[in-house]
A and B are shown apart, each in its own frame.
Chain A
């Protein structure tokens, strides 16, 4: 090889060197073109992955501390159930709103009680249905009217009677089938309209106006 190289002229040696260099560089270029494609592809993949990592896979904020744990919620549910049970028991003392029959029964018991206590009932009616003037018809679509302040229907009771009778009437309200609570009352001492001029004036008659929540 060396002997052959020495025998070549300088121009031939230069040509050979240039040729070998060109072939070498060409071969390298051919080989590198494949590598370069792979490198570019991989770089793009890395860049894309980094973008995805920064934009799409950014770490979400950690959840704020829950206001209650499951244990608290369970306890709360138990409390709610207990409260609902108590409320149901409480509501069982009131007349069912969807039962006109029971409401009527309560009115009858009230009438009987008042009469029994010596009270002369002049008026016993639903407050809501009679709240408006006579020109306006009440809303009969609802089976009952619930007073927004007390959350129960109200009955207006007007009667005449003695103080003792009123006192007894109030005491005996607890004996009724359902609750009837006097949420407003007015007792006015007046002369009995039906009193005869010969009757005893010292027996005052009370005009009783009472609102009962049932």
Chain B
């Protein structure tokens, strides 16, 4: 059968951290703190302290102070075994293989455990607290009780135990007041229990399937649990779980119960818890109140007789009070004789789990602590003891419903946002500085470039201007020179040559009348008029003239030879013609062709 929920969860809760664990044991009157050393191969107890100040917080502070003197490095995680936790063996309609919500388990178990809480309240008298805190011996308590009974019989119904104890000078007023405060703290008027559950298997054995599954359940009032939680947190300690003190004997001595049929007696100051364990499985659990006036031995024997079976071969007793601490060891052989049975009690059972005898401490607490040590659990010869454990705190609300998320998260978020914004701003500033530097250098570079470009432009402009100026002067000079040469100088050669050519063309039949150059727009053209006696002479003249002028670049044009009278009155032929430079004539012809083409 699977025991996923209970066994796994409880095993996790009982898991011992590697650094070690602080074990706290509170029997409702006193507090023991113990540090386990997990560094060595064998688990040992490094330090132990005890305190009883009445108030839980003061008691814890005193115990921690004493513990720190012996061991400065105290583990942060603490597990509490408390007598305030009530325990019962219940048949629950639950499937161990399935998981169940904690509040459902609490609702299911709470009403079963409430009668036990009531019984525990009744046992928390001021007398028991004074005795438990060792402010008063048991004989003194009985004496005060007798005086109280006597006074009530005498009619003093309002007499109180504490007042009488003060009258008898057995305790101080402060002792009574602190004990009353402790009583107020431990008594539960309206139980609101936080519960823990465990299938009754103590050593991981599977329960017999044909029998109803029974659950080992425990519970503690939420107010008391919260007090413990706050007290430990006030000292920087984290409470990992709360287990019942009654029944811890089974856990402390579990290794000896694996194969045996045992009866285990947990002796508390005001009650006895009788458990029967068969091969590691808890089969019976019984609370019995301590009977005033009856010796512990007598009550133990009578109680055990009720649960003994023929198969029982081991009887274990765990005393959680100093009163019976010394007595139990001495009384056990006598009990065995009284019981008249052969009950094997292995001497090694106790000695194997006990530390060195030099430690002055409660041996059972030490056995309990050492049995829970992870290295003890790892040993193959010992099986892990599983106790029902109550969670140190109720499961928290969902994250989105947890106000602390918003209380702490909002400032953290704001801080992170401010930091991110600050980092962004600083980074942005650096980027801007870098950009500014780049822009400045770019600006300077462009300015220099533009200056150079402007200088180059000016230079180019100057060069061009200079070029144009020089070129203009040169062209003007060339034009002037050309004009002088072509229109003036050339005439010094051309005109005589022209006259010579005309003279050379004249024959005996020709008489020149005139050679005239128009005064305007002549372009070098010359009009020639002459008279010839014969037409043949005139023709020969013009032909010769044309030949002569061709060498000079002139052509004869508009030639007219008519019959006429000379200036001397003789009849003959008049000659009228134009001598035109060939280039002028050519230009004129080209112009005419262009005009004709344009008209077409």
Contact = CB atoms under 8 A, between A and B. Distances in A.
Interface of A: 2-3, 6-7, 13-14, 17, 20-21, 24-25, 28, 31-32, 35-36, 38-39, 42-43, 45-46, 49-50, 52-53, 57-60, 62-64, 66-70, 72-73, 76-77, 79-80, 83-84, 86-87, 90, 93, 149-152, 163, 166-167, 170-171, 173-174, 179-189, 201, 204, 213
B488 A13 contact: no
Interface string B146-182: 0000000000000000000000000000000000000
A186 B408 contact: no
Nearest to A167: B499
Contacts of A45: 436
A142 B443 CA distance: 63
Nearest to B418: A28
A201 B460 CA distance: 77
Contact of B446 (A57, A83, A181): A57
B491 A53 contact: no
A73 B411 contact: no
Interface in B453-512: 453-454, 456-457, 460, 463-464, 466-468, 470-471, 473-474, 477-478, 480-481, 483-485, 487-492, 495-496, 499-500, 503, 511-512
14 contacts: A3-B234, A17-B408, A24-B414, A28-B422, A59-B453, A84-B477, A150-B488, A170-B499, A171-B496, A174-B492, A182-B491, A183-B487, A185-B517, A188-B513
Contact of B470 (A38, A62, A63, A73): A73
Interface in B508-539: 511-517, 519, 522
A84 B481 CA distance: 10
Contacts of B208: none
Contact of B429 (A38, A70, A76, A87): A38
Contacts, number: 189
B432 A39 contact: yes
Contact of A184 (B426, B443, B470, B519): B519
Given A63-B460, A186-B515, A187-B515, A152 B488 contact: yes
B570 to A, nearest CB: 11
B522 A57 contact: no
Contacts of A187: 499, 512, 514-516
A53 B411 CA distance: 45
B418 A189 contact: no
Interface of B: 230, 233-236, 407-408, 410-411, 414-415, 418, 421-422, 425-426, 428-429, 432-433, 435-436, 439-440, 442-443, 446-447, 449-450, 453-454, 456-457, 460, 463-464, 466-468, 470-471, 473-474, 477-478, 480-481, 483-485, 487-492, 495-496, 499-500, 503, 511-517, 519, 522, 567-568
Contacts of B485: 90
A14 B407 CA distance: 7
A179 B414 CA distance: 109
A180 B495 CA distance: 12
A211 to B, nearest CB: 8
A88 B513 CA distance: 42
A66 B464 contact: yes
A83 B478 contact: yes
Contacts of A182: 491-492, 495
Contacts of B426: 35
B493 to A, nearest CB: 8
A149 B513 CA distance: 29
B515 A17 contact: no
Contacts of A43: 432
B500 A167 contact: yes
